[in-house]
Chains A and B, each alone.
Chain A
Amino acid sequence: MSNSVISVISRFLEEYASSTPNKLKVIDAYLLYIMMTGALQFLYCLLVGTFPFNSFLSGFISCVGSFILAVCLRIQINPQNKGEFLSISPERAFADFLFAHTVLHLVVINFIG
C-alpha cells in the first residue's frame, strides 16, 4: 500500500521536474513560499493567541489572496491552457496580477492596524 503511494509520488515528482516549463516552476516556488508564510502565521495564532486579531486576519488574508492570485497567473500563463485564454496574453495576465495585488495590499495595509 505505502509502496504504491511512494511510487506515485516519486513518479509525480519526476514528471513535474521534467515536463514543467521553468516559468511555471518559478511561480510554484513563489506559491510554496506564500503557503509557508501563511501556515506559520496560523501556527502563531494557535500557539500564542489571537491578539491582535485584526493583524492576524490581515496577514493571513494577504497570504491567501496572494496565493490565489499567483495560482490565477500560473493558470493563465501555462502554454497548455492557451486555448482557453485566447484574448489574454501572458503580459496581460501579469499586468492583471500586479493590479489585483495593488488592491489586495491596499486593503491589507488598511486592516493591519
Chain B
Amino acid sequence: MAHLCLFSLLVLSLVLETQALTPTHHLTTTDVARLQAVLSQPFTDLKSAYYSVVGLSKLGIFVADADETCRFINSNLDPSSVESLFYAAEASQALSGCEIPVSNDTRDLLLATVSEDSTASQIHQSVSALSALGLPLASQEVVSALKARISKEDNVLAIILALQTASRLSQQAELGEILEEIEDLAARLDDLGGVYLQFEEGLEATALFVSAAYSLSDHVDMEPPLKEDQVIQLVNSIFSKKSWDSLSEAFSVASAAASLSNNRFHVPVIVSAQGPAAVSHSHPFLQLQVTDVLCQPLSSASVLVESASAVASKSAILNQAPFTLRDGVFELNFMASQPASGYYQFSVAITGDSRFVANHVELKVKVSTRVAINNMDLSVVDKDQSIGPKTTRVEYPTKAKASFMADSHQNFAMTFQLVDETTGVELTPHQTFVRLHNQKTGQEVVFVAEPDSKNLYKFELDTAERKTEFDSISGTYALYLMVGDATLENPILWNVADVVLKFLDEEAPGTIQAKTLYVPKPEIQHLFREPEKKPPTVVSNAFTALVLSPFLLLLILWFKLGANISNFTLSPSTILFHIGHAAMLGLMYVYWTHLNMFQTLKYLAIIGSLTFLAGNRMLAQKAVKS
C-alpha cells in the first residue's frame, strides 16, 4: 500500500514537472478591432444581419442604430421559413427592445420542425428560435429527436449543432448522452505537431465546437472533458487566422473568443511583454500585459515571478517576486535587483482564478547596459626591446593628438578595459574590432582584440607579419575601435588615433587594385568525354583475318588425318541432334546481336533440352553399335 502511494506520487510529480503549453497564436488589439470591423459591415440580408448583430453582441458591442436594424429584420422576415425565423429571433434577442410578432402558425411551424425527420440544423434553428422568442418547448422531445439525428447524421457539424441546441433546453432534461458527444468530438480533432488542434472540416467547425461545448458545459455546470493542453491547442488553431474569408467564419471566431473569455471552467491567459522584453537603467520596469483571448485585461489576476535566473550562469536572481498592477499593465522593477547585463529566464505564474489555463509562462528578458572604455593605452614598442615603450593614454571620445609611427622594426600595441558604466563590472562584449582605414586608397583591414584572463583587452600589430593584409601599402591609417553586443545600449565606433605604417617600398604593388570579387568569372567550357582512340580499320581487319586463319589450318590437318563423316547415320535422332546443335550456335549469334541473357536462357532451355534428348539417343545408339 505504501509502495503504491509512493509510486503514484512519483508519477504525479513527473506529470506536474512537464512543461505546460502556452498559446503561440492569439488575437492582438488590432486583430480584435479588425474582427469588429468585419462584423460591422452593412448587412445585405437577414443572414448577414444575424451574423453581424449576434457576433458583435458576443464581443460586447451593441449595434449603433438598434431601431433601424429591428425594422430591417422585421421587413426581411419570412414567417414560413424556419431558417428566416431563426435569424430574426436570435438577432432581435441581441438588440434591446426589438420584438418580432409571433402568430400561432409560426409557433406550430417551429414546434412541428422538432422531430426525427428534420435535419439537425433545422432542429437547432427551430429550438433556438422558440427559446429566443420565449415560446415553450418540450425538452424531452427535442432530446430524443437530437439523439436520433446524431446517430443518423454522424458528421461533425451536426453534432456541434446538437450541442448548441441542448444548451437551450431545460436543465431537467436528460442531457447526459448529448454531453458525452463533447468527448467523442474532441477525439476527432486532428493534432498538428502538438501545437494545433482542429477539425479537418476547418476553422469554422473548430470555433463553433468550442463555443457549443462551453455553452453546454456552462448550462449543465459540468466541466468539459478538455485537457488544458487541448484548450491551448484549440486557441492556437482558432486564433492563428487573422483575416477571415466570410462573415460566418468571423462570427464563429467571435463566438469562440467570447466563450473562451467568459465561461465557468477554462479561461486561457495570454501574457505578452509590452514592447521588447528588455530592461536597462533608463527603463527599469519590465511590463507585461495579461489578458484573456479577447485582449481584455484580467482584473482578478495577480502576477508573480516564481524564479528568474541568468541564462549564462544559471544563478537565481529573483524568487517569488510579485508584479504590481498600474494602468492595466503589470510591472516589476527588475533593475532594483541589480542584475548584471545579459539574458535572464523568467518563470511567471498568474494566479487569482481557478479557471485560468496556461497560467505558467516562460519569458526571456534582456538586461542592457552602457559600456565605458577605461585605460586606453597606445604604444609603439621596438621589436628588440632596446627602447622602452612610450605609452600614450587616450580618453574616449577624443582622438590622440600625435600620430604613431611603426615600421618593420616596431610593433604597435593597444590595451584597454571595457566596463559597465554604472557598476564598473568588467564586460566582454561579442564584438571588439580594431579597424585600420587608409583614407587615400580606401583600404580597410579589421582585426579582433582579445581579452586576456584578467579581462584586459590587448591588440598588437606586427607590421612585418601583417604586411599581406595591408598589401604592403605604406601610409596613414586611421585606427577605429568598434565595440558592440546585443546587451549594449551604446555601441561604440571610436577613431582612436592615426597610425603611419611603413612597409618596404619594393613590395608595394604599382597600382592599387580594388579586389574584384563580383565581376563575371571566365566561362568554363564543358569537356565532353572523348571516345577512346581506336586503331585504324585496316589493322583491325588484318588481324581479324589472321585470327580466323588457323581454322583453315585445322581443316587441312583434319583432311590429312583422314577425319571423315562416313559413319553418319541418317536416323531421326541424329538429324535432330545436329539441327539442335546448329540452332544453339545460331542462338549464340542472335544473343550477341539482339537478345539479352533472360531471353537467351529461355530459348536455350527449349533448344538445349531437345538437343540433349536427341543427342542422348544418338550416342546411346552409337555406344550399342560399337
Point out the residues of chain B lying under 8 angstroms from A112, CB to CB: 592
Cβ of B591 and Cβ of A44 under 8 Å apart? no
A12 CB within 8 Å of chain B = no
B570 CB within 8 Å of chain A = no
Cβ of A32 and Cβ of B557 under 8 Å apart? yes
Cβ of B561 and Cβ of A26 under 8 Å apart? yes
* Consensus secondary structure, chain A interface: helix
Q: Given A29-B558, A32-B557, A51-B532: A105 and B588 within 8 A (CB)? A: yes
Point out the residues of chain A lying under 8 angstroms from B543, CB to CB: 40, 44, 48
Taken together as a complex, chains A and B put the C-alpha atoms of A37 and B545 apart, in Å, by 11
B405 CB within 8 Å of chain A = no
Cβ of A33 and Cβ of B534 under 8 Å apart? no
Interface string of B588-626 (1 = CB under 8 A from A): 100110000100100010001000100110011011000
Cβ of B592 and Cβ of A36 under 8 Å apart? no
Q: Which residues of chain A from 79 to 113 have any CB-CB distance to chain B below 8 Å in the complex?
A: 89, 91-92, 94-95, 98-99, 102, 105-106, 109-110, 112
Most buried by A among B554, B585, B604, B620: B554
Cβ of B597 and Cβ of A110 under 8 Å apart? yes
Q: Which residues of chain B from 541 to 566 have any CB-CB distance to chain A below 8 Å in the complex?
A: 543, 546-547, 549-551, 553-554, 557-558, 561-563
Taken together as a complex, chains A and B put the C-alpha atoms of A25 and B584 apart, in Å, by 27
Q: In the complex, which range does the number of interface residues on chain B fall in?
A: 35 or more
Cβ of B561 and Cβ of A36 under 8 Å apart? no
Cβ of B551 and Cβ of A33 under 8 Å apart? yes
A7 CB within 8 Å of chain B = no
> Within the complex, what minimum Cβ distance (angstroms) separates A67 from chain B?
13
Most buried by B among A40, A91, A94, A99: A91
Q: In the complex, which range does the number of interface residues on chain A fall in?
A: 20 to 34
Closest to A99 in B: B612
Q: Given A29-B558, A95-B619: A36 and B553 within 8 A (CB)? A: yes
B539 CB within 8 Å of chain A = yes
B533 CB within 8 Å of chain A = yes
Taken together as a complex, chains A and B put the C-alpha atoms of A33 and B623 apart, in Å, by 28
Point out the residues of chain A lying under 8 angstroms from B532, CB to CB: 51-52
Cβ of A98 and Cβ of B581 under 8 Å apart? yes
Which residues of chain A have a CB within 8 Å of any CB of chain B? Answer: 22, 25-26, 29-30, 32-33, 36-37, 40-41, 44, 48-49, 51-52, 89, 91-92, 94-95, 98-99, 102, 105-106, 109-110, 112
Q: List 14 A-B contacts (CB under 8 A).
A: A25-B561, A29-B554, A30-B554, A32-B550, A33-B551, A33-B554, A40-B546, A48-B539, A49-B535, A95-B615, A95-B616, A95-B619, A106-B604, A110-B591
